[in-house]
Structure 1
Amino acid sequence: MSSHEHGSDDCVDYIERIVYFIDNELEEADCAVVEMHLRECGPCLERHDLQKAVKQLVARSCSESAPESLRDRVRLQLREVSIQITEGNA
């Protein structure tokens, strides 16, 4: 059994670090510490895997372009709001 229990205070320190670890925003020494914790802590490893999967899904979804018809409707609504604001200030 691991020395880390689900929800332990030790894991709280890693929650934010896991996000930075996934984004490759940690120093090499910090990466090593997080990797070691993930090897020893199943709940944190599950959190890491879930966050990584969500991040990949969002990245895939954000790479798609909106259909031109939707883009045209949004532009039209923005112009209408702009006109209403302009007329309200006149």
Structure 2
Amino acid sequence: MGTMGTSQEHDEMDECVQALARVHSFLHNELVEADADAIRVHLHACERCMENFEIETTITEMIVRSQPVQQAPAALAARIQTMRLTRR
């Protein structure tokens, strides 16, 4: 046997690489539903990727909690709304 794993192991590794490359987009709900479903299926089937996903989720939650909630000044919000209405 060679040093490479089986083709099934290689395919599974490719799936892991693809899932983890898009985990941030998945966390931020930036994927179309079909792609999000594919990642969900992979995460449920792959313990290693699920562990990485849980770590990324925790980090994302910590970042969100550490950022103060800010709102644009009323005058700026009004200008933006006016710009949006005039561009349509």
1-side partners of 2:52 and 2:27: how far apart? 11
Cα distance in 2, alignment partners of residues 4 and 19 from structure 1: 24
Q: List alignment gaps of at least 5 residues for structure 2.
A: 1-7, 71-88
**SS of 1:8's equivalent?**
helix
| Alignment TM-score, normalising by the size of structure 1 | 0.59
Percent of aligned positions with the same letter in both sequences?
29
Q: Which has the greater radius of gyration?
A: 1
Q: Gaps (5+ residues) in structure 1?
A: 66-90
RMSD (Å) for aligned C-alpha atoms: 2.5
Deviations 1:30-59 (A, max 9, x none): 011000000000111111111011011011
Q: TM-score, normalised by structure 2?
A: 0.61
Amino acid across the alignment from 1:44: C
Residue of structure 2 equivalent to 1:37 = 42
